[in-house]
Amino acid sequence: ETGVTQTPRHLVMGMTNKKSLKCEQHLGHNAMYWYKQSAKKPLELMFVYSLEERVENNSVPSRFSPECPNSSHLFLHLHTLQPEDSALYLCASSIGERPAGDTQYFGPGTRLTVL
């Protein structure tokens, strides 16, 4: 069983569509993350959830709406996106509590194209 899975792997949507990205982790972790990866830019942290509570929102536009119903699942709801939102969206998870370091494990990503 793969540690962190994401669906769909590819998504093409128009600017008026509403879609959702799904992430599931099978590692027993307590923290989950959404990142955006655009061409030639470092990975950008979008949201952090710890024990199902949002603990970080990195100034992300409201057209991105995260949801964490339990510690194993994370969603990113998308609506009225812009073409510049086209990117690889990566989910990650970590144990969440480890003073010496809390390693994040990534899913394969969803390649999103906004037309």
Among 48, 81, 112, 114, binds other proteins (CB under 8 A): 48
Q: Distances in Å between the alpha carbon of 94 and those of 3, 28, 51? A: 11, 9, 11
Round to whole Å and give the CA distance between 110 and 64. 14
Cα angle 1-52-32, degrees, rounded to a multiple of 5: 45
Taking CB under 8 A as the rule, does residue 102 contact other proteins?
yes
Is the CB of 16 or the CB of 42 nearer to other proteins? 42
Q: Which is nearer to other proteins, 15 or 102 (CB)?
A: 102
| Contacts (Cβ under 8 Å, ≥6 apart) of 16 | 80
According to the binding rule CB under 8 A, does residue 21 interact with other proteins? no
**Position among 50, 74, 87, 114 found at the interface with other proteins (CB under 8 A):** 50
68 binds other proteins (CB under 8 A): no
| Cis status, amide bond into 8, omega within 30 of 0 | yes
For the segment 27-46, give every residue that binds other proteins (CB under 8 A). Answer: 30-31, 40-43, 45
Residues that bind other proteins (CB under 8 A): 4, 6, 30-31, 40-43, 45, 48-50, 55-56, 90-92, 94, 96-109, 111
